[in-house]
C-alpha cells in the first residue's frame, strides 16, 4: 500500500469523524423535566415516512394532568420517539383544582403542550390529532365549573397549538370510555387484540375519583346482559379491534376512586373512625369539602374499619340480578375474560407504600390477601410509629394507610368478588418491543384517534 494512499485515507477518516461529532453535538434534543434526561436521537427527525402518524393525548385526571405522545406506523404498531416508545410528562394539581379560575386551568397545560409539540416533527403537526380527556375529578365539580374549564382549555389549544385540534378535542370522558380505553391499552401492549376474548385480560383501574372494571364476555353472555338502571351507562360496550368484534363489560364507579373513597368512608362515621390511626385528629379535604378524621380512643382496627368500608361500598345493597359487585350493580356474569386480572393505578402505589412490591418494578404479581396482611399490621399501629414500620408511606398518606389498605382489599374481594388467594398483576408499565410503556388509558384513546385517519388500519372503533 503506497504512502500517498495512506495519507489520503487518513484525511478522509478525519473528515468523517469530525462531521459525525458536529452532527451529534448539534442534533440532540432534551425533552425536559420528567424524562430523566432522556434524549431524542440525532437521527430522530430523519427516519420518518408518510406512512406514520403521531397522536398527542392529555389525561386530565383528578390528581394531576399528563400528556402522552405516541408515534404509530400504518399497521398501528408503536414506533420509537427517540429512545422510548412514548413521551410522557405530568404536572400537579389536576384541572379540578382550578374550579374558581378556568384560565389558570388552561395555562397549567401549556408546559405540557410545549413539550409534546417539540416531540412531533413540524411537518406532522397539521395532521397530528390532539385530544384531552377529563375524568371523575371534573365530573364531580358543581354547577358549570367543568364546562368553563373545558372551554378555557379548548380555546387555549386552538389559539396556541399548531396540532390538529378537532371540534371534539376536549371532553369529559364517560366512565365507560375510561374503562374501555384502559382495557384496550393493556391488551394492546400484551399483544392480545385480535385474539379470542378468552385470551384477553380483565382490567381494574383505580383512579383518584372513580374506579373502573372491564373485561370481555362472549357474544352469548352479552346478549343476556340486563338493561342498566336509569342514569347508569350500558353494561356492554361493543368494539371492533384488530379485525375482531369484542363485547366488553364495563362499569365505572364514581366516588370510589382512592381519594374519593376516603371521603365516603369518613362519612360513614362522622366523628371517631376506626380506619384512622391512633394519634391523628384532623380533617381530610376532598373536592373542597372537609371531613373529620379522628381515631377512637382504642385506635384503628382492621375488622371495624372493614365494616365501615363495606357500608361505604354498599356491598349488601339489593341486587336485582343473579350476581352483583356492590351498590346493586350487575357484575357482568364472569367468564373466561375475567380469569386474569391486571390492576392499575393506585393499587400499585399503595402496595409500594406498604412495602410488598418493588417500587422500581414495572409490575408485580400479588394476591389480595397481601393487602389484607399489610392492613392488619397498619391498623394495629399508632400514628407516631407508622413510618418506622412503613417507611415508604408518603407523609400525607400516613393517617389513612390503614383505610387505604382495607379499602383496596375489600374492593377486590367483597366488591369485585376476586378470591383472596388469586394471583393478580399490579401494573404500572408493560413491556412492549423491549421498552416499557405506561399502562394508561391515553394509549387506547390514541389508537382510536389514529384509527380514524385515512390510510391507517382501522384498528379500533366503537360499534
Q: At what angle do helices 368-378 and 346-354 cross, to 10 degrees?
A: 50
Grid cell at residue 35: 424524562
C-alpha cell at 370: 397481601
The candidate with the shortest Cα–Cα distance to 172, out of 191, 192, 189, 147, is 147
Instruction: Kindly tell me the sign of the dihedral angle through the C-alpha atoms of 163, 166, 172, 176.
Output: negative
Q: Which of 238, 223, 228, 215 is CA-nearest to residue 417? A: 215
Residues making up the annotated binding site for ATP are 208-212
First to last CA, the chain: 72
Q: Confirm whether 178 is a catalytic residue.
A: yes
Residues annotated in the binding site, as ranges? 208-212
State the cell numbers at 159: 389559539
Nearest to 55 by CA among 443, 456, 457: 443
- Copy the grid coordinates of residue 263: 371521603
- CA separation for the pair 75, 448 (Å, rounded): 13
Alpha carbon distance 401, 169 (integer Å): 38
Residue/partner pairs of 117-122 with CB below 8 Å, 24 or more apart = 117/56, 117/161, 117/162, 117/163, 118/29, 118/31, 119/31, 119/40, 119/54, 119/69, 119/81, 119/82, 119/87, 120/54, 120/56, 120/69, 120/163, 121/45, 121/48, 122/162
Q: How many CA atoms lie within 13 A of 100 on its CB side?
A: 2
CA-CA distance, 172 to 136, in Å (whole number)? 8
The answer to whether 416 and 213 have CB atoms below 8 angstroms apart is yes
Give the burial class of 377: count Cβ atoms within 10 A of its Cβ; 0-12 exposed, 13-18 middle, 19 or more buried.
middle
List the grid coordinates of 153: 382549555
* DSSP symbol at 111: H
- 178, 264, 353, 438: the catalytic one is 178
Task: Give the count of beta carbons closer than 10 Å to the beta carbon of residue 123.
Answer: 10
Which segments within 331-371 are labelled E, that is strand?
341-345, 363-366
- How many CA atoms lie within 13 Å of 29's alpha carbon, on the beta-carbon side? 19
Query: What is the set of active-site residues?
Result: 178
Amino acid at each position: 500500500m503506497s504512502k500517498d494512499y495512506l495519507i489520503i485515507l487518513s484525511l478522509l477518516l478525519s473528515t468523517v469523524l469530525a462531521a459525525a461529532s458536529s452532527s451529534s453535538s448539534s442534533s440532540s434534543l432534551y425533552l425536559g423535566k420528567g424524562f430523566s434526561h432522556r434524549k431524542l436521537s440525532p437521527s430522530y427527525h430523519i427516519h420518518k415516512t408518510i406512512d406514520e402518524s403521531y397522536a398527542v393525548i392529555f389525561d386530565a385526571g383528578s390528581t394531576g394532568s399528563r400528556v402522552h405522545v405516541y408515534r404509530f406506523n400504518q399497521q398501528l404498531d408503536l414506533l420509537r420517539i427517540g429512545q422510548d416508545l412514548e413521551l410522557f410528562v405530568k404536572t400537579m394539581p389536576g384541572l379540578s383544582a382550578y374550579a374558581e379560575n378556568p384560565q389558570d386551568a388552561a395555562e397549567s397545560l401549556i408546559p405540557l403542550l410545549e413539550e409534546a409539540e417539540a416531540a412531533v416533527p413540524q411537518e406532522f403537526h397539521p395532521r397530528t390529532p390532539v385530544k384531552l380527556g377529563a375524568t371523575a375529578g371534573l365530573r364531580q365539580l358543581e354547577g358549570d365549573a367543568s364546562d368553563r374549564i373545558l372551554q378555557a382549555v379548548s380555546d387555549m389549544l386552538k389559539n396556541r397549538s399548531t396540532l390538529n385540534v378537532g371540534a371534539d378535542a376536549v371532553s369529559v370522558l364517560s366512565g365507560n370510555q375510561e374503562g374501555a380505553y384502559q382495557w384496550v391499552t393493556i391488551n394492546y401492549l400484551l399483544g392480545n387484540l385480535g385474539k379470542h376474548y378468552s385470551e384477553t385480560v380483565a382490567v381494574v383501574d383505580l383512579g383518584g375519583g372513580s374506579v373502573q372494571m372491564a373485561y370481555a364476555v362472549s357474544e352469548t353472555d352479552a346478549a343476556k346482559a340486563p338493561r342498566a338502571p336509569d342514569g347508569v351507562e350500558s353494561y356492554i360496550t361493543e368494539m371492533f379491534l384488530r379485525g375482531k368484534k369484542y363485547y366488553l363489560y364495563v362499569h365505572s364507579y364514581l366516588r370510589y376512586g382512592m381519594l374519593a373513597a376516603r371521603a365516603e368512608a369518613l362519612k360513614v362515621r362522622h366523628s371517631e373512625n376506626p380506619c384512622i390511626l391512633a394519634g391523628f385528629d384532623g380533617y381530610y379535604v376532598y373536592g373542597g369539602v372537609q371531613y373529620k378524621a379522628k381515631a377512637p380512643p382504642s385506635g384503628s382496627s382492621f375488622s371495624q374499619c372493614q365494616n365501615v368500608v363495606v357500608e361505604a361500598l354498599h356491598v349488601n345493597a339489593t341486587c336485582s340480578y343473579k350476581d352483583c359487585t356492590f351498590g346493586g350493580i350487575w357484575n357482568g356474569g364472569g367468564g373466561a375474560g375475567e380469569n386474569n386480572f391486571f390492576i392499575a393505578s393506585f393499587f400499585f402505589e399503595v402496595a409500594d407504600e406498604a412495602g410488598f412490591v418493588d417500587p422500581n418494578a414495572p409490575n408485580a404479581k400479588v394476591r389480595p390477601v397481601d393487602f389484607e396482611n399489610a392492613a392488619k399490621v397498619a391498623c394495629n399501629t399508632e400514628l407516631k410509629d407508622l413510618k418506622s414500620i412503613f417507611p415508604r408511606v408518603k407523609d400525607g398518606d400516613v393517617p389513612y394507610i390503614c383505610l387505604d389498605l382495607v379499602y383496596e382489599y375489600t374492593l377486590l374481594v367483597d366488591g369485585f368478588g376476586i378470591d383472596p388467594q388469586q394471583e393478580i398483576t399490579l401494573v404500572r408499565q408493560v413491556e412492549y418491543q423491549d421498552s416499557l410503556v405506561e399502562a394508561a388509558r391515553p394509549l387506547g384513546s390514541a389508537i382510536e384517534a389514529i384509527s380514524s385517519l385515512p390510510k391507517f388500519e382501522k384498528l379500533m372503533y366503537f360499534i
